[in-house]
Amino acid sequence: MESNTHLIDTLSRPISDLRISVTDRCNFRCTYCMPKEVFNSDYEFLRRDDLLSFEEITRISKVFADIGVKKIRLTGGEPLLRKNIPVLIEQLSSIAGIEDISLTTNGVLLTQKMAQQLKDSGLQRITVSLDALDDETFKAISDVSFKVDKVLDAIETADSVGLSPVKINMVVKKGVNEHAILPMAKHFHASGKILRFIEFMDVGSTNQWQMDDVFSAKEVVDVINQELPIEPADANYKGEVAKRWRYKDGGGEVGIISSVTQPFCQSCTRARLSAEGKLYTCLFATQGKDLRHLIREGANDKHVAEVVSAIWKKRADRYSELRTSETVLLPKVEMSYIGG
């Protein structure tokens, strides 16, 4: 297979991260991702046979590891809805070259037993989505009846079994939950956990995104600075998505993911594998390459690697840098298929 030291795209970006959506289903109906008006009882989710099996995911992941991928993140939908997910993690953790395996969840299914199984199977880190601390705002966004306390318990559970440092992702939408920024910052300040604020993005075509709804990274910093002064910190590694800020009083750090107002396309090293086995080279992609069909039709690993390598070498994605009122209207793959 091709040497993993030379696989770069047209903008000299190497491939090093693979995000795998293991299901398109979720037990939340967040307005910025799976609005209930679309993802209702009539919506046709993928059938079980449409999903990649654990063996297929592992096989494809091995191909990616051979061409340079070192980090895998499991997403969804809600990945903990996928039955026996620790079994997949155990398979992935045995792949030579994979140095880091993490998972993003809404936390509702993250019991003590599940957290321990995930840890024992080889999961190293976990990120929990939480968009507010008060139940009213949380429900307005998630559109379900779960309580915030259930998510907070999940965060502590993950921390207790060593899936740490736990990261907490908060999507900020203007007019909806910007009032929750400071309470969230205060709650996780000096906790050993890392809170990350994410600008509301135009992923997919169903979340009614518009620029006026974006609460910018600069505005987030201004809000936190009012009571908890922060200062910029160096990135942990090249290509890190979140810009790091540390509390001046030594109370840890926060991250801000500013895909809209401060795009980071130039350092993006991520490939994405959708729940039904399509390869996407950008979160905002309009189409992907069907790897499931390839492997189910009998393609060997060498051929799959050649296909993936050819796609990456031609990659020129920089959607966030080029975002216009016209590109926003393009039919993009939904977040529930491609993960975050």
Q: Which amino acid appears at position 96 of this protein? A: A
How far apart (Å, rounded) are the C-alpha atoms in residues 260 and 282?
Answer: 14
Residue 2's pLDDT is what?
Answer: 44
Q: What is the pLDDT along the chain (340 residues), one digit of tens a residue?
A: 444 447 999 999 999 999 999 999 999 998 888 889 989 999 999 999 999 999 999 999 999 999 999 999 999 999 999 999 999 999 999 999 999 999 999 999 999 999 999 999 999 999 999 999 999 999 999 999 999 999 999 999 999 999 999 999 999 999 999 999 999 999 999 999 999 999 987 666 666 667 788 999 999 999 999 999 999 999 887 767 889 999 999 999 999 998 888 777 888 999 999 999 999 998 878 889 999 999 999 999 999 999 999 999 999 988 676 666 656 556 667 767 777 6
Length of the chain: 340
Contact 319, 284 (CB under 8 A): yes
- Using omega within 30 degrees of 0 as the cis cutoff, is the peptide bond preceding 68 cis? no
How far apart (Å, rounded) are the C-alpha atoms in residues 21 and 311?
Answer: 19
At the topology level, CATH places domain 17-338 in TIM Barrel (3.20.20)
What is the strand order of the sheet 243-247 is part of?
A: 230-232, 243-247, 253-257, 194-199, 167-172, 125-129, 100-105, 71-75, 17-21, 270-273, 278-280, 289-290
Cα Rg, the chain, nearest whole Å = 19
What's the predicted TM-score (pTM) here? 0.93
- Cβ neighbours of residue 179 under 8 Å, at least 6 residues apart? 137
Strand-pair partners of 212: none
